[in-house]
Structure 1
Amino acid sequence: MPRRVSTPVPFHQQFSSTRRGARLARLLATQQMADWGWGRDGEYLEAAELVVGELAANAVTHGRVPGRDFLLTMTLVRPPEGGSGILRIEVADSRGERLPAPVAMPCPDGEHGRGLLLVSALAARWGVAPRFPSGKTVWAELPSPPG
């Protein structure tokens, strides 16, 4: 069983704004969480993996600017007294004018429109912040496994 890191260093990585980049972001995020001691078959890791995948997919679909990458940041914040903490996932892209908004009623036969509904269901909270000099950062906070 991997050793749990008490104060993990935040994970920062840039990826190409392509479907391949989004897939790699999800895979490396999953590996990073496993390195932090999260069980690979646990519900916490699965939820975080889905959120990273959705935010990265949105960055390459709606936030893409040719020649510009997107940035994935994951920070695990533990309360000083120990116990479970919060995983903050941030995906920054270069399109500040295209703000995310969940679709109230996605088309039942459609292929799009469910990602942010999924993020809303899995995250304790999520939002968007401007990124300077241009772009935006979409973030989500999820509970981390106890321990």
Structure 2
Amino acid sequence: MIIEYANKKEDTQKVLKPLILSMIMYIAREYRLSHEIVDTDPLSSQLFSYMESHSDTITLSDLAAHFGYHPVYLSRLLPKLFGKNFSSLLLDIRMKKAKILLDHTDLTIEKIAAVLGYSNSSNFYKSFRHYYGKSPRSLS
């Protein structure tokens, strides 16, 4: 660029302008990359963490709204990220919490069902039996 500027010819401006613009764009890109905050928590971890901490009340629409996605998009993304749909992921989270609560607390099964977000203990019993193959009473 310096040589082109020093040895001016009639098309010097046509040559220098794109070169200078390219250089400015490169410098701007490098500056932005060097000062950008790197998100070390990938989306899959963020989604799963949010589901775990809100497993008692969360819906697919709540999850989508929190992360700024459309529910249909998220319902297609979750199987790609986790190999399971929203309902299966939520069931996994709830059943793992249920097992911990049954093993390590004196809470009744009805209270555990309520803590996990089940509207009635009958639904909790069915889900637990289907997931673990045995009744929650056998663990308590």
The TM-score with structure 2 as length reference comes to: 0.27
Structure number with the higher helix fraction is 2
Greater relative contact order (CA < 8 Å, ≥ 6 in sequence): 1
Decide which structure has the larger Cα Rg and report it.
Answer: 2
The TM-score with structure 1 as length reference comes to: 0.26
